[in-house]
Amino acid sequence: MGRIIAVYGAIAGIVVAIGMFVNINFVASHGAMGMVAGYLSMLVALIFVFIGVKRYRDIHLGGVIRFWKAVGVGLGIGLVASLFYVFSWEVYMWRTGGTFMAEYIARTVEDMRAAGKSAAEVAKFSADMGAMAEQYKNPLFRMALTLTEILPVALLVAFVSAALLRRSSFMPATQPRG
């Protein structure tokens, strides 16, 4: 089981890291579309949770897996992928000198002003986000916050995969043709 978790978690982690890179460099500047693209890339990467659980069920357990065992394997794969995601974000922060929060706040304030928000709303947002930016300088806080972006998605995918794959009749293992 450990090998399945490590291999499929690493594959999912590499895919999610590539998705993050593409999103940051080509999509993120397009407002809400950046968030949609980010979560879509997480879902694409986390397809490997399903694939890993299915492989474990079919190859190692003879085509039958209990729900909680499948959840455990899926969560393991999802956790490994999540760690890749957090590590990738930390590399991005290091490479950019940690300017993300300042740039995000400036861009959002600019958008708020363009949308006609009141000076009081803009000032409150700036103050709230300024406090958040101070916390964000702490790597442990930042890593925990980054983990909360992907871990709920991984949890959902693990439970859905387990619910589907606990039924041995769902996508049964195929016998090699001889």
pLDDT in tens, the chain (178 residues): 899 999 999 999 999 999 999 888 887 666 677 788 889 999 999 999 999 999 999 999 999 999 999 999 999 999 999 999 999 999 999 998 888 888 888 888 998 899 898 989 999 998 999 899 999 999 999 999 999 999 999 999 999 999 999 999 999 887 655 4
Q: Which two tokens stand for residue 168?
A: 């041995």
Q: How far is Cα 123 from Cα 131, in angstroms, rounded to an integer?
A: 12
- In the chain, % of residues over pLDDT 90: 66
19-50 confidence digits (pLDDT tens): 999 888 887 666 677 788 889 999 999 999 99
Query: Scanning the structure block, which residue is given the tokens 């490590």?
Result: 6
Q: Tell me the pTM.
A: 0.87
Distance of CA 175 to the CA centre of its chain: 34
Q: Is 88 left (phi over 0), alpha (psi -120 to 50) or beta?
A: alpha
CB 60 within 8 A of CB 1: yes
Scan for tokens 């708020």, then name that residue.
Answer: 112
Q: What is the dihedral of CA 16, 64, 171, 54, to 10 degrees?
A: 10
Rounded Cα–Cα distance for residues 172 and 166 (Å):
11
Burial of 154 (0-12, 13-18, 19+ CB in 10 A): buried
Q: How many CA atoms lie within 13 A of 140 on its CB side?
A: 0
